[in-house]
Amino acid sequence: MRPPRQPLYLALQTYRRRRMMDAARLLPVLGVFLVMLPLFWMPGDATATGTAGIGLYLFMVWFGLIVGAFVLARRLASIAGDDAHPHGDGEGRDDAGGGEAG
């Protein structure tokens, strides 16, 4: 008989980084869905839907995708930066050998 397995523990920072990476991978799929959505709005009579409304919607989706990509990139960069310097921001430390001798 095997002993019960320990539950998998992920550090909070690792979990957040993986979820941000998942969101970054999902963003293009969401974008394609949102851009294709106006095709489902068109009823049999194409004059019922205004071109200006659809154009405004597409512009807002485009702008939202840009903002979403920017936010995700900033968060991923900050999480990656935290992983690179686990003991702080690295400033003022002399362990690299490049500091001033005082």
**pTM score over 0.75:** no
For 5-51, the pLDDT digits (tens) are 776 776 777 888 888 899 999 999 999 999 999 888 766 655 556 78
Q: Please report the DSSP string for 19-88 in residue order.
A: HHHHHHHHHHHHHHHHHHTHHHH--SSGGGS-HHHHHHHHHHHHHHHHHHHHHHHHHHHHHHHHHH-TTS
| Residue-range domain boundaries for the chain | 12-39+51-84
